[in-house]
Amino acid sequence: MFKKGLFLLLLFTLLIKISISTASNLSTSSDKEKVLSQSVQGYYTTPKTNFEDPIIFAALPSFDQQIKTSVKTADARPEIIRQYLQKYESPLEPYSNLIVELSDQYNFDYRWLVAISQQESSLCKRIPENSYNCWGWGIYGDKVTRFDSYEDALRRIAPQFTKIFLKGNHSMDPYEVMKTYTPPSDGSWANGISTFFDRLE
């Protein structure tokens, strides 16, 4: 009987030790998992934002925008001319870029070469044979100024516009230009040029 009681006491003591050891291991494992979990969360989660702090956004420089706008405006001119000449089936269509280049080189509105050719020859459709002269340039009765090509005509006429017809305040006024370009006109020439200018805007 005494042996049985001693055996039970030892068994009871052993079970208590096992229980304490297991509980201790579980507690340690749980703590490790917590630490690991917090570490993982700290790594993957973004820091909290304090919404009371001011938020600063970087704006694009306005100068850059101005450059882009200027480039787009400049690049649009040859296309405006090309579409206009295409609409009227003008043989000048392939020279849209050249027209803009020459007007910039000699400092006059890019619409002049187109508008005058429309007024004088319906955009090169009614010109003296083999003359490539769409601008009524140097045509007096039987006297006809001839050019080797449309390009040749553009390159030779463009510098004369600035020297003769587009001086000073005349550069934007068809009625003033008319006085030297075609003095006999009753005003219809200038009216036509103004209309074509408006269509080309």
CB 133 within 8 A of CB 139: yes
The verdict on residue 172 lying in a domain is: yes
Name the burial class of residue 78, with classes exposed (0-12), middle (13-18) and buried (19+) by CB atoms within 10 angstroms of its CB.
middle
Nearest to 108 by CA among 66, 147, 145, 160: 160
* Per-residue DSSP letter, 93: G
In the prediction, which pLDDT does 181 show?
79
* In contact, 147 and 153? CB cutoff 8 Å: yes
Task: Count up the domains in the chain and report the number.
Answer: 1
Question: Is residue 92's pLDDT more than 90?
Answer: yes
Q: What is the mean pLDDT of residues 59-64?
A: 48
Instruction: Indicate the average pLDDT of the chain.
Output: 75
Confidence of residue 153 (pLDDT cuts 50, 70, 90): very high
| DSSP reduced 3-state for 36 | helix
Residue 146 lies in a domain: yes
- 50 within a domain of the structure (yes/no): no
Please indicate, yes or no, if residue 162 is contained in any of the structural domains: yes
| pLDDT over 70 percentage in the chain | 60
Question: Residue 97: helix, strand or coil by DSSP?
Answer: helix
Domain that holds residue 116: 91-199
Is 174 a member of any domain?
yes
Question: What CATH number has the domain bearing residue 194?
Answer: 1.10.530.10
pTM of the model: 0.60
**Interatomic CA distance for residues 198 and 18, integer angstroms:** 101
For 11-55, what is each residue's pLDDT tens digit?
666 667 666 665 555 444 455 454 444 444 444 444 454 545 554
Helices 96-105 and 112-121, axial angle in degrees (round to 10)? 120
The more confident residue out of 113 and 8 is 113
